[in-house]
Amino acid sequence: MYLVMKLLHVAGVVLFLGNITIGVFWKNYADATGNTAIMAYAMDGVIRADKIFTIPGIALLLIGGVGAAIVGGYPILYTGWILWALIAFVLSGLAFAPLARTQRGLSLAAHTGNMPDYESLSKRWNLWGFIALAMPVAAFVLMIVKPALPAFHR
């Protein structure tokens, strides 16, 4: 059962991290064209990919990760690398709400050709996107390296 949970967890990580990383690539690639139709199409794709890959990836990641910890006998709140990886993951989730709103605004601005709004929203997207990507990358590193970090004590 542990290996099944671990498989679900790793599959979730691949979907989640892979999609949020490639979203940054496609947005920047489209922006470089300066063509609002391409920018709108790319942003619509990023939004759609979040629904298809990121959100299911989050579910698999959490179900598999928590399940593997329970089945494997890892006390989640008392194991530093798990605790801090979860905190990083939560921070990423908190950044996703303003990021998702900004993505919808970027799509609208690109569809209407409103470049001043698009450029302003792009700066906001870069900030929230950095947080939403950096935190799970940090969690990924913690899960692999498993450093001795402070946690709650029993």
Q: Is the pLDDT of residue 154 over 90?
A: no
Distance CA 92, CA 74 (A): 23
Contact by Cβ (8 Å): 87, 46: no
In terms of C-beta density within 10 A (0-12 exposed, 13-18 middle, 19 or more buried), how is residue 25 classed? exposed
Contact by Cβ (8 Å): 81, 143: yes
pLDDT tens readout for residues 2-12: 999 999 999 99
Which token pair is 60? 């698999």
The pLDDT value given to residue 10: 98
Contact by Cβ (8 Å): 121, 102: yes
The pLDDT value given to residue 11: 98
Instruction: Show Cβ contacts of residue 33 under 8 Å, excluding neighbours closer than 6 positions.
Output: 39
The predicted model gives 109-119 an average pLDDT of 98
The predicted model gives 127-154 an average pLDDT of 96
Residue 48's alpha-carbon distances to 1, 131, 144, in angstroms, are: 33, 20, 30
Distance CA 72, CA 1 (A): 9
Percentage of the chain lying above the pLDDT 90 cut: 99
pLDDT tens readout for residues 90-109: 999 999 999 999 999 999 99
pTM, whole model, 2 decimals?
A: 0.92
What sections of the chain are H helices per DSSP? 2-31, 36-49, 55-72, 80-112, 115-145
Percentage of the chain lying above the pLDDT 70 cut: 100
Q: Is the pLDDT of residue 143 over 90?
A: yes
pLDDT tens readout for residues 46-90: 999 999 999 999 999 999 999 999 999 999 999 999 999 999 999
The pLDDT value given to residue 60: 98
